[in-house]
Amino acid sequence: MSEFKISNPLLRRIVQAVGVMGVIVFGFYTINLFKYPISVVFDALTPFMAALLMAYILAPAVIALQRQLRMGRIMGTLVLYVVIFLVIFLLLAFLIPKILSEFIRLF
């Protein structure tokens, strides 16, 4: 197979630029072609990924509750969830009225 050589440097640059642009356009076309199936799979797996992340983050706290308070894993997890939801509820209970009063004062 013979090599294709371009002796003119300007023409070589133009051919390279067109080739790079062609690869970029093909890449965008391929990404656009698979965007919908990937988004469907990602939408279906998002709750599982969130649960895995939450379990990974909370595992050390559950282990600490098991060791220090001598409670079972299920009870430790339940206590941890109750504490987290209580903290979120209290934060929202204190922040929402302040935010609403600031919006009312703003307008």
Quote the number of domains for the chain. 1
Quote the pTM value.
Answer: 0.54
Residue 3 in any domain: the answer is no
Residue 98 in any domain: the answer is yes
Residue 2 in any domain: the answer is no
Q: With contact defined as beta carbons under 8 Å apart, do 6 and 12 qualify?
A: yes
Residue 1 in any domain: the answer is no
Residue 26 in any domain: the answer is yes
Interatomic CA distance for residues 61 and 49, integer angstroms: 20
pLDDT tens digits, one per residue of 14-59: 888 999 999 999 998 888 888 888 889 989 999 999 999 999 999 9
Residue 63 in any domain: the answer is yes
Residue 20 in any domain: the answer is yes
**Domain of residue 13, residue span:** 9-106
pLDDT tens digits, one per residue of 86-100: 999 999 999 999 999
